[in-house]
């Protein structure tokens, strides 16, 4: 536990430091000032002497909306001399709208290059300067995919023979590190522009290195590509344009994603309602979640099949909810646009059912809840779409998205392996269900409607999902014996489940007085034990209640310490699986080694297993089962 906490702390510290470094670097992102900023007339307030690196700092003073602002710009003595700058001289600046104190003078930036270039777009004659960002300006800094060079903001100078890159590389501490590289134009190939994004490859020792950068606007991007060589390799595919067209068609046919929005809201509201009803905000109350509709094996297999769906809207605490909502928010809108809202909702709900059924068949005793199975169904459907690659899907786009979703699924499973009490059966069941339905329901890219053949396809997918659920209902679900026979190697892990603290309406810790008020007279009333009859005449169904009496006399305040059931399966309490008659070896195979063991008289053995289940064994076979809190009392 301690090593994991240390690693988590270090990881969080690294993320915070990285975000801070990115923030410092983005402060000098002049591309954003040009693209999204505004202009102002400034006055040179001061010019510092050259520092150890030979650079000067020019202090600029200006007003924005009546507010006095001041900004500093680093430059060279040669650039200052070329412009003839002196204190009190006017100069135009560009500043950010959200932070007016972040500004720069384009003329001073141009003068730092010799011979003096023009600021893009140029006229094709002489050097041209492009202010650029090497990170996606629309992506938040903490989630920004790092480029291979580690650069953030910079400038590109293109002349007749070469391309010069000037950029900064952020550091965890201190100022960003400047970087400067010059390449001959002959080493550049596969230049492409999409909006303000420019991509090209630079051959270094015969190896192509991909450069991605964003300039101020689409006109500057087109001008930069025009200035670069038109060399194209056989492997070059205008993937950017294909991807843009693909997403444009998706957005055109489905500008909004109402189902994903509704699912996010419903899951959040369901969590709030459950927490207000006692299910817990950070630490979940498993017993309360069972009462609210989680997929608790004993009750689901006992006929409460609605739990197969309701559990997908319950969560084990706020962190569990947050992980699932983020995954749905990131992946759901894309899948909804691929399939359309109706199909997407069908896939989501069917995957939730498939995940719940997989949990039932895999785990003999489980209390499962959460939207992750349905969300894995969304992953599976997205993967199926790109595997099938329906009409209108460019092969390069399909391959790219297919590889990304495969990587995302693999990482999700690997991360789940590191977290205890993860319902891997639900994830796998949801993934396979989503893939199967997604492959069946995939439609042409950007299709607004469907022809009769695809409507029949839609109906077929719905019929398959409904038939699967009806088949399970008709079959009655697997028995404990059937599950045990299927899991020859034992259970690979147990899903988090509540510690059962009650049986047939009687709870551990309940006093004699409370029991009298709730149950009335027992069948038999001993000094420390009571017996209640749950069945009908001729059908034994006895509930034996034992009190934790410290003295010789029976007191009204004595708490219930153990509850055991003996009798027919027809009248067995719903809180625990019926296990009477099973052998000791089967319990070990299903639940692992017992947590607590007591040898009583006449060969009777009591063993406590998962979720508080306690077995009374006679000659190696269960003759009664129930719950008790003696073990917890001894360890408190």
CA atoms within 13 A on the CB side of 8: 7
- Whether omega before 121 lies within 30 degrees of 0, making that bond cis, reads yes
Do 361 and 468 touch, CB atoms closer than 8 A? no
Largest CA distance in the chain: 110
Give the residues across from 203 on adjacent strands: 208
372 is catalytic: yes
SS3 content of the chain, % helix, strand, coil (to 5): 45, 25, 35
424 is catalytic: no
Do 359 and 426 touch, CB atoms closer than 8 A? yes
Per annotation, catalytic residue among 427, 458, 484, 497: 427
What whole-number distance in Å separates Cα of residue 559 and Cα of residue 2?
38
CA atoms within 13 A on the CB side of 284: 27
Do 196 and 215 touch, CB atoms closer than 8 A? yes
Give the DSSP letter of residue 511: B
Start-to-end C-alpha separation, the chain: 21
- The DSSP result for 570-584, as a single string, is GG--TTS---TT-BH
What whole-number distance in Å separates Cα of residue 602 and Cα of residue 585?
20
Find all residues with CB under 8 Å of 459, minimum gap 6, and list them: none
Helix (H) or strand (E) holding 404: helix 395-417
Cβ-based burial of 521 (10 A; exposed 0-12, middle 13-18, buried ≥19): exposed
Q: Which two tokens stand for residue 175?
A: 């100022």
C-alpha torsion sign, points 449, 453, 457, 459:
positive
Per DSSP (E only), the strands in 65-112 are 67-75, 90-95, 103-104
Per annotation, catalytic residue among 71, 372, 458, 484: 372
- Between β-strands 162-169 and 177-184, what pairing exists: parallel, antiparallel or unpaired? antiparallel
Which residues are catalytic, by number?
A: 372, 427
């Amino acid at each position: 536990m301690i090593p994991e906490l240390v690693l988590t702390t270090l990881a969080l510290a690294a993320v915070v430091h990285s975000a801070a470094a990115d923030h410092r670097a983005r402060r000098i992102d002049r591309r954003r000032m040009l693209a999204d900023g505004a202009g102002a007339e400034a006055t040179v307030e001061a010019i510092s002497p050259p520092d150890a690196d030979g650079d000067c700092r020019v202090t600029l003073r200006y007003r924005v909306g009546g507010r006095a602002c001041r900004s500093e710009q680093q430059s060279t003595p040669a650039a200052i001399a070329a412009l003839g700058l002196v204190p009190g001289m006017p100069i135009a600046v560009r500043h950010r709208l959200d932070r007016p104190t972040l500004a720069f003078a384009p003329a001073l930036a141009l003068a730092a290059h010799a011979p003096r270039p023009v600021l893009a777009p140029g006229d094709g004659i002489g050097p041209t300067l492009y202010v650029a960002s090497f990170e996606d300006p629309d992506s938040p800094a903490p989630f920004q995919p790092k480029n291979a060079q580690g650069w953030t903001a910079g400038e590109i100078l293109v002349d007749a023979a070469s391309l010069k890159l000037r950029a900064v590389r952020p550091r965890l501490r201190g100022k960003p590190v400047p970087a400067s590289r010059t390449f001959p134009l002959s080493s550049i190939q596969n230049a492409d522009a999409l909006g303000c994004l420019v991509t090209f490859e630079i051959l270094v020792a015969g190896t192509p290195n991909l450069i991605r950068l964003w300039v101020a606007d689409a006109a500057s991007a087109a001008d930069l590509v025009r200035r670069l060589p038109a060399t194209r390799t056989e492997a070059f595919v205008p993937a950017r344009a294909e991807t843009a067209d693909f997403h444009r068609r998706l957005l055109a046919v489905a500008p909004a994603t109402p189902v994903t929005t509704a699912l996010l809201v419903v899951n959040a509201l369901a969590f709030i309602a459950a927490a207000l009803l006692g299910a817990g905000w950070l630490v979940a109350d498993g017993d309360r979640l069972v009462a609210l509709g989680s997929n608790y094996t004993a009750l689901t297999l006992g006929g409460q099949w609605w739990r197969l769906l309701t559990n997908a809207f319950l969560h084990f605490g706020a962190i569990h909810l947050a992980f699932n909502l983020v995954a749905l928010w990131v992946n759901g809108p894309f899948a909804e646009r691929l399939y359309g809202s109706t199909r997407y909702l069908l896939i989501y709900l069917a995957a939730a059912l498939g995940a719940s059924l997989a949990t039932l068949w895999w785990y003999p005793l489980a209390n499962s809840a959460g939207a992750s199975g349905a969300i894995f169904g969304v992953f599976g459907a997205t993967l199926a779409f790109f595997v099938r690659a329906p009409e209108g899907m460019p092969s390069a786009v399909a391959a790219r998205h297919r590889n990304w979703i495969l990587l995302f699924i693999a990482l999700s499973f690997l991360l789940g392996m590191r977290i205890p009490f993860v319902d891997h059966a639900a994830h796998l069941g949801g993934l396979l269900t989503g893939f199967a339905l997604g492959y069946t329901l995939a439609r042409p890219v950007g299709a607004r409607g469907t022809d009769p053949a695809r409507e029949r396809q839609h109906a077929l997918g719905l019929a398959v999902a409904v038939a699967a659920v009806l088949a399970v209902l008709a079959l009655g679900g697997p028995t404990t014996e059937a599950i045990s026979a299927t899991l020859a190697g034992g259970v690979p892990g147990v899903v988090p489940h509540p510690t059962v603290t009650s049986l047939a309406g009687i709870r551990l810790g309940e006093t004699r007085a409370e029991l009298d008020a709730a149950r009335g007279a027992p069948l038999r009333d001993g000094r420390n034990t009571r017996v209640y009859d749950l069945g009908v005449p001729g059908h034994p169904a006895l509930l034996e209640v034992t009190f934790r009496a410290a003295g010789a006399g029976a007191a009204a305040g004595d708490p219930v310490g153990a509850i055991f059931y003996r009798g027919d399966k027809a009248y067995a309490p719903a809180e625990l699986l019926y296990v009477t008659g099973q052998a000791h070896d089967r319990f070990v195979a299903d639940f692992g080694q017992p947590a607590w063991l007591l040898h009583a008289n006449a060969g009777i053995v009591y063993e406590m297993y998962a979720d508080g289940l306690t077995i009374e064994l006679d000659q190696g076979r269960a003759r009664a089962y129930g719950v008790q809190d003696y073990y917890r009392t001894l360890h408190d």
